[in-house]
Structure 1
Amino acid sequence: MNRTRIAALAAPLAAGALALSMAAPAQADDGVDSFVSTLGSSGLGDIDPATAAQVGQSVCPMLAEPGQQAADAAAHVADTLGQPLGPATMFTGLAIQAFCPGAVAALANGNSPLPFGLPGF
Structure 2
Amino acid sequence: MGRAGDINGMTCFKLAVAASVLAATALTATVSAPAAQADTGADVFLAMLGDYGLGGIDPATAVRVGEAVCPMLVEPGQNMANVASDVADALGRPLGPATMFTGLAIQMFCPRAVTALTDGRPFSFLG
Above 0.5 in TM-score?
yes
Corresponding residue number in structure 2 for 1:57: 67
Q: Alignment RMSD, CA only? A: 2.0
Corresponding residue number in structure 2 for 1:100: 110
Q: Is the 8 A contact 1:69 1:114 kept in 2?
A: no
Corresponding residue number in structure 2 for 1:6: none
Provide closer, same or farther for how the CA distance between residues 107 and 72 of structure 1 changes in structure 2, counting only shifts above 3 A. closer
Corresponding residue number in structure 2 for 1:85: 95
Could you tell me how far 1:70 is from its partner in structure 2? 1.1
- Out of 38, 55, 61, the residue aligned to residue 45 of structure 1 is 55
Where structure 2 has 5 or more consecutive residues not aligned to the other structure, the ranges are 1-37
Counterpart check, 1:32 vs 2:32: no
TM-score for the superposition, normalised by structure 1: 0.65
CA distance in 2, matches of 1:57, 1:33: 13
CA distance in 2, matches of 1:96, 1:32: 13
CA distance in 1, matches of 2:51, 2:91: 18
Could you tell me how far 1:31 is from its partner in structure 2? 1.3
CA distance in 2, matches of 1:51, 1:29: 18
Report the residue type matching 1:103 in the other structure: A
Corresponding residue number in structure 2 for 1:15: none
Where structure 1 has 5 or more consecutive residues not aligned to the other structure, the ranges are 1-27, 116-121
TM-score for the superposition, normalised by structure 2: 0.62
Q: Is the 8 A contact 1:63 1:70 kept in 2?
A: yes
Q: Is the 8 A contact 1:56 1:95 kept in 2?
A: yes
Counterpart check, 1:113 vs 2:122: yes
Q: Deviations over 1:53-100 (max 9, x none)?
A: 000000000011011011101100111110001000110011111111
Which of structure 1's runs of 4+ aligned residues deviate more than 3 A? 105-108
Report % sequence identity.
Answer: 64
Report the residue type matching 1:114 in the other structure: F
